[in-house]
Amino acid sequence: MKIGVLLPAFNEEKNIQIVIREVKKYIPDSKIVVVDDGSTDMTNELAKQTGVMVLRHEVNRGKGNTLNTGFKYFLKKQPEIDVVIIADADRQYPIDEIVKILEPLKKEEADFVMGYRNWRKVPYANAMGNFIWRILFNFFFKTNLKDTNCGYIGLTRETIKKIGKVYGGYIIENAMLRDALKNGIRIKQVPVIVKYKKGNMSNLSHFSRMFFGILYFIIVEGINYRLGKI
C-alpha cells in the first residue's frame, strides 16, 4: 500500500520541520505533501528544506481549500498513492497516532477512518460542544459515531474521488462524513490522543460562530438526508 500524508499548514514555522521529521520516522516510505495556506512566517521555506513536496497558496484560503489542493495533487500527480492521511501541522494530534488511522485501511476494514478523542481529556467547553454536535449528527444521519469533528482522517483514493470537493469553514469534518455516508463509504473510528495547549480556547464570539455554524449545518443537512434529498 502506497501512503500519502497531507499536512495543511498556516504559520507553523515552529512545528513544520518537527512534524515532517516525525512522519518520516513513523511512515518512512510515505509521500509527504505540505500545503502552505498563505503563511506569513517561514513555514514555506522551512518545509522546502526537508525535501518534501510543498504547495503554496499565495493568500490564506482556509483549510477546506487547502485540503482540496492537496487532494487534487495526489489524484492527478501521484497515481500510485492508495490512501491519504490528513494530519495537522500544529502537533495537536501526535504524529505517531497515524499508525492507528492506517491500520483499518491496510486491513481493508474501512475506506474512511476518523479518530475519536477521549472526552475526559478535552476542555469542558470543547467537550460539551462536541457532545451536542455528535448527538444530533448521530440522530439525523442514523449513525453511532464517537466523534464527528476530529481532524485526524485517513481516506482511500476512491473515497477522495467520491467525496469530491471539501467544504471549508467549521463544517469540514461533518461535511466529509455526510458525503461519505451519502456514497455508502465504509467508516471506522479509532481512538487518538489530542493535546490542547494552554490558552487554546477561542474567544466567546469565535466559539459561538463555530458552535452555531456547525449546529445549523448538521440540522439542515440531517433533515435533507432523512428526506432523501442528498
Of 169, 101, 92, 97, which is closest to residue 123 (Cα–Cα)?
92
pLDDT for 228 equals 87
Q: pTM score, two decimals? A: 0.94
Domain ranges for the chain: 3-117+146-195
pLDDT for 24 equals 97
Which CATH homologous superfamily contains domain 3-117+146-195? Spore Coat Polysaccharide Biosynthesis Protein SpsA; Chain A (3.90.550.10)
pLDDT for 133 equals 97
Taking residues 105-111, what's their average pLDDT? 97
What letter would DSSP give residue 120? G
Give the pLDDT confidence of 167-182 residue by residue, as tens digits.
888 999 999 999 999 9
| Three-class secondary structure assignment of 5-18 | EEEEECCCCCCHHH
Does residue 202 surpass a pLDDT of 60? no
Give the pLDDT confidence of 138-169 residue by residue, as tens digits.
999 999 999 999 999 999 999 999 999 998 88
Does residue 206 surpass a pLDDT of 90? no
pLDDT for 167 equals 87
Does residue 38 surpass a pLDDT of 70? yes
